[in-house]
Amino acid sequence: MAKAAPANRKKEIEELRERLRYHEYRYYVLDEPEISDAAYDRMMARLKELEAAHPELRTPDSPTVRVGGAPREGFQTVRHARPVLSLDNAFSYDALREWDRRVREGSGKEKIEYIAEHKFDGLSISLQYEDGQLVRGVTRGDGTTGEDVTPNVKTIRSIPLRVDAPALKKAKLQADFEVRGEVMMTRKAFEALNRQQERIGGKIFVNPRNSAAGAVRVLDPTITASRKLDFFAYYFLVDGNVPFAKHSEALEALKQLRFRASDDWKLCNGIQEVIAYCENWDDKREKLPYEIDGVVIKVNATSIQNELGYTAKAPRWAIAFKYPARRETTVVKDILVNVGRTGALTPVAVLEPVQVGGVTVSRSTLHNMDEIERLGVQIGDTVLIERAGEVIPHVLKVVKPGKDRKPFHMPKNCPECGSAIHHVEGEVAYRCVNAACPAKRKESILHYAGRHAMDIDGLGEKIVDQLVDKGLLKDVAGLYALKKEQVAALEHMAEKSAQNLLEEIAASKKNSLARLNYALGIQLVGERTGQLLAEQFSSLEELAAAKQEELEQVPEVGPKVAASIAEFFSEPANRQLIKKLAKAGVHPTAEKREVKSDKLAGKTFVFTGTLANRTREEAGAMVQQHGGKLSGSVSNKTNYVVVGTDPGSKYDKAKELGVTILNESEFEKLLDLK
């Protein structure tokens, strides 16, 4: 039993939470961090440590509980306090003028004060706060009832888990309220996600909206947490009513309460100013970090809003102006292949140049072979293309097959480096697995330097771009041959920072084999697999020499992962790279795990749910220290399933198969900790 926490511990915990909340706000809402990631991580680690030692002081709104709980079985449906309505659309400025006429007629006013704001293209969410604390997040659903996605929205860092009492008081608001807004993904996060998906051979998302919506509506909150979502707030309710005289006051209050709300709204006097706002943003919207698909116009005065009221589906006091879809037809002259930053081959249609919404388009992505088959597109066809927010437009459909149409085939060799192209039967991607292929160079180096890989602080995109573009860096082994003068001569670099970077690079040689396994960027080999491999093969050479069958013996490594590893090392350029790394001094051997006993030898454990006294990783390490094995899924071979709070489907599987189920205290007994 943990002892009751002394008062100073309680105070330290509360202060840490307050500081972490503030820094999350600086980082995720304002985009203006004041401290380094490392300093933030240290504070978070300290808070976790204190909360682990004093479980009685845990609270559901602590910054430590952003990611918590195991995957659930399904969503609960929740009734909205006030229906979440949609908005009527206007597709032209004439339609806006017509709406303005109805608003003026309905209110008896000659000129109306409007608020024009961005129409965020995401997934609408209602957040419910009680006593200043976030208690529920619900999707729009059918408007009357939605799905309870609370654990998922809690992982979104720009959503406050708690709103401070002084801020509420200042805004003269009570502590029970509802905020509505849109969950979004920035273009940058979306592109990074797709690159990551490409790397692991996962699903490629079509646009930021889809990936954001998908990430909120998954049962496993750790997936939501990994997607880097944002939330923009635009509506504030107390007991289903707007507690402000004007909508502009609500937008200001939301910011005071530290919600992320757009700064780009504008108070417009009359519809002409609204139209000017729409025109202005039509040009500028491509430059925003996220996608908007229109402008929402709202009557500013709450009294007039109430007078106008609602139709069955939408408020009469608001309308969505939608920017016209940018579509055009043209001819596919050729289909080329582009090697992406992760080595995946993307077919690209070369088009007869055509104007789409003021931009000349001559290329269009076709994503992959599956997409080409789905569209049935061939060289010579006339196609309909669409340019949404993204830079590269996509093909919507074939409108007329070409007379002398020619089908497209993937090349056998990489167009960039000539290495053989790999394709796993049944998978979508075709890829070049040469880690030093020029097309992948920058991405491989960035991945290698990443925090969870070799952790080379300071080796970011700007520096890698310059090093590669200047021909100073051809592969990751080249990092260790960089000279101080070369680094110091780069933009944004000085003597001191060059020195620091070189020291970081040198220090990375001491990293574990587990990290190096992951850092190489082998398809499907994530951090955990890197670790598991390091437990079986004591050096890279050993791993490189392993046969597919041997690789499949590694816990949690299935035939696909094993094939991908074997494929990586079958590439001569990659074998060469390992030699170069070893020569540069990057040659870790597997760390021997501390062995305490063999009392769990031959026993396989699965963990599910949250444990009270330790993390699952810590518990897993304990099992291994006593000779036991871990597995990610329950089967007839599992000996024990250890169950914490909120267990997932593994618990049911264990019951179904009759596997021995332990709670945390029984697990401790098994290890003689009690």
How far is the C-alpha of 615 from the C-alpha of 621, rounded, in Å? Answer: 10
**Burial (Cβ within 10 Å: 0-12, 13-18, ≥19) of residue 298:** buried
Whichever of 184 and 623 has its CB closer to ligand IVH, that residue is: 184
Q: Which stretch binds ligand IVH (CB under 6 A): 119-127, 207-215, 407-415, 620-628?
A: 119-127
DSSP string, 75-141: PPEEE-SS------EE-SHHHHHHHHHHHHHHHT-SS-EEEEEEEE-SEEEEEEEETTEEEEEEE-T
* C-alpha atoms less than 13 angstroms from C-alpha of 108 in its C-beta half-sphere: 2
State the minimum distance, in angstroms, from the CB of residue 180 to ligand IVH. 6
How far is the C-alpha of 422 from the C-alpha of 567, rounded, in Å? Answer: 8
Among 17, 66, 72, 119, binds ligand IVH (CB under 6 A): 119
Q: Which stretch binds ligand IVH (CB under 6 A): 116-124, 273-281, 348-356, 547-555?
A: 116-124
Which tokens go with 296? 């929402």
State CA 40 to chain mean position distance. 20
Please say whether the beta carbons of 51 and 14 come within 8 A.
Answer: no
In this structure, what is the dihedral angle of CA atoms 290, 293, 298, 300, given to the nearest 10 degrees?
30
How far is the C-alpha of 557 from the C-alpha of 572, rounded, in Å? Answer: 23
- Residue 358 carries which side chain, given as an amino acid letter? G
Whichever of 294 and 393 has its CB closer to ligand IVH, that residue is: 294
631 CB contacts (<8 Å, ≥6 apart)? 555, 556, 604, 605, 606, 637, 638
Whichever of 142 and 591 has its CB closer to ligand IVH, that residue is: 142
Among 28, 235, 290, 568, binds ligand IVH (CB under 6 A): 235
Quick check: is 119 catalytic? yes
* Widest Cα–Cα separation across the chain: 85
Q: Using the rule CB under 6 A, is 416 a contact of ligand IVH?
A: no
How far is the C-alpha of 483 from the C-alpha of 505, rounded, in Å? Answer: 11
Which tokens go with 428? 């979508």
* CA nearest neighbour of 72 among 275, 217, 232: 217
Q: Using the rule CB under 6 A, is 234 a contact of ligand IVH?
A: yes
Q: Using the rule CB under 6 A, is 478 a contact of ligand IVH?
A: no
Among 138, 278, 318, 351, binds ligand IVH (CB under 6 A): 318
Length of the chain: 674
Whichever of 314 and 563 has its CB closer to ligand IVH, that residue is: 314
Residues 270-299 that bind ligand IVH (CB under 6 A): 296
Choosing from 119, 246, 298, 650, the catalytic residue is: 119
Q: Using the rule CB under 6 A, is 308 a contact of ligand IVH?
A: no
Q: Which stretch binds ligand IVH (CB under 6 A): 28-36, 274-282, 315-323, 480-488?
A: 315-323
Q: Using the rule CB under 6 A, is 321 a contact of ligand IVH?
A: no
State the minimum distance, in angstroms, from the CB of residue 212 to ligand IVH. 12
Whichever of 125 and 606 has its CB closer to ligand IVH, that residue is: 125
Which tokens go with 438? 């020029």
The CA–CA distances, whole Å, from 224 to 152, 194, 317, 330 equal 6, 15, 34, 39
Q: Using the rule CB under 6 A, is 529 a contact of ligand IVH?
A: no
Q: Using the rule CB under 6 A, is 606 a contact of ligand IVH?
A: no
DSSP, collapsed to helix, strand or coil, labels residue 643 as strand
* b/e code 489-499 from CB counts within 10 Å (16+ = b): ebeebeeeebe
635 CB contacts (<8 Å, ≥6 apart)? 657
Contacts with ligand IVH: how many residues (CB under 6 A)? 15
Whichever of 143 and 411 has its CB closer to ligand IVH, that residue is: 143
Continuous segment of H or E residues that includes residue 606: strand 604-608
Instruction: Output the residue with the shortest Cβ distance to ligand IVH.
Output: 124
Residues 178-207 that bind ligand IVH (CB under 6 A): 182
Q: Which stretch binds ligand IVH (CB under 6 A): 118-126, 248-256, 611-619, 655-663?
A: 118-126
Q: Using the rule CB under 6 A, is 85 a contact of ligand IVH?
A: yes
Q: Which stretch binds ligand IVH (CB under 6 A): 81-89, 163-171, 400-408, 421-429?
A: 81-89
Q: Which stretch binds ligand IVH (CB under 6 A): 71-79, 83-91, 243-251, 531-539?
A: 83-91
300 CB contacts (<8 Å, ≥6 apart)? 112, 113, 114, 115, 246, 247, 248, 267
State the minimum distance, in angstroms, from the CB of residue 184 to ligand IVH. 9
How far is the C-alpha of 231 from the C-alpha of 483, rounded, in Å? Answer: 44
Whichever of 86 and 362 has its CB closer to ligand IVH, that residue is: 86
Among 47, 50, 70, 87, binds ligand IVH (CB under 6 A): 87
Whichever of 257 and 670 has its CB closer to ligand IVH, that residue is: 257
State the minimum distance, in angstroms, from the CB of residue 562 to ligand IVH. 45
State the minimum distance, in angstroms, from the CB of residue 221 to ligand IVH. 22
Among 62, 64, 124, 300, binds ligand IVH (CB under 6 A): 124
- Residue 377 carries which side chain, given as an amino acid letter? V
State the minimum distance, in angstroms, from the CB of residue 86 to ligand IVH. 5
How far is the C-alpha of 467 from the C-alpha of 447, rounded, in Å? Answer: 15
Q: Using the rule CB under 6 A, is 315 a contact of ligand IVH?
A: yes
Among 36, 45, 56, 86, binds ligand IVH (CB under 6 A): 86
How far is the C-alpha of 359 from the C-alpha of 390, rounded, in Å? Answer: 12
Which tokens go with 139? 């999707």
Whichever of 35 and 314 has its CB closer to ligand IVH, that residue is: 314
Among 40, 120, 205, 259, binds ligand IVH (CB under 6 A): 120
Q: Using the rule CB under 6 A, is 515 a contact of ligand IVH?
A: no
Among 44, 218, 223, 320, binds ligand IVH (CB under 6 A): 320
How far is the C-alpha of 306 from the C-alpha of 106, rounded, in Å? Answer: 11
State the minimum distance, in angstroms, from the CB of residue 105 to ligand IVH. 21
State the minimum distance, in angstroms, from the CB of residue 28 to ligand IVH. 19
How far is the C-alpha of 186 from the C-alpha of 121, rounded, in Å? Answer: 10
**Burial (Cβ within 10 Å: 0-12, 13-18, ≥19) of residue 199:** buried
- Residue 58 carries which side chain, given as an amino acid letter? R
Among 24, 51, 100, 117, binds ligand IVH (CB under 6 A): 117
- Residue span 241-260 as binding mask against ligand IVH, x where in contact by CB under 6 A, dash where not: --------------------
Whichever of 299 and 467 has its CB closer to ligand IVH, that residue is: 299
State the minimum distance, in angstroms, from the CB of residue 388 to ligand IVH. 16
Please say whether the beta carbons of 183 and 50 come within 8 A.
Answer: no
Please say whether the beta carbons of 639 and 660 come within 8 A.
Answer: yes
State the minimum distance, in angstroms, from the CB of residue 309 to ligand IVH. 11
Q: Which stretch binds ligand IVH (CB under 6 A): 20-28, 35-43, 111-119, 223-231?
A: 111-119
Residues 388-407 that bind ligand IVH (CB under 6 A): none
Rounded to 5 degrees, what are φ and ψ at 375? Answer: -75, -25
How far is the C-alpha of 671 from the C-alpha of 600, rounded, in Å? Answer: 9
Contact positions vs ligand IVH (CB under 6 A): 85-87, 117-120, 124, 182, 234-235, 296, 315, 318, 320
Active site residues: 119
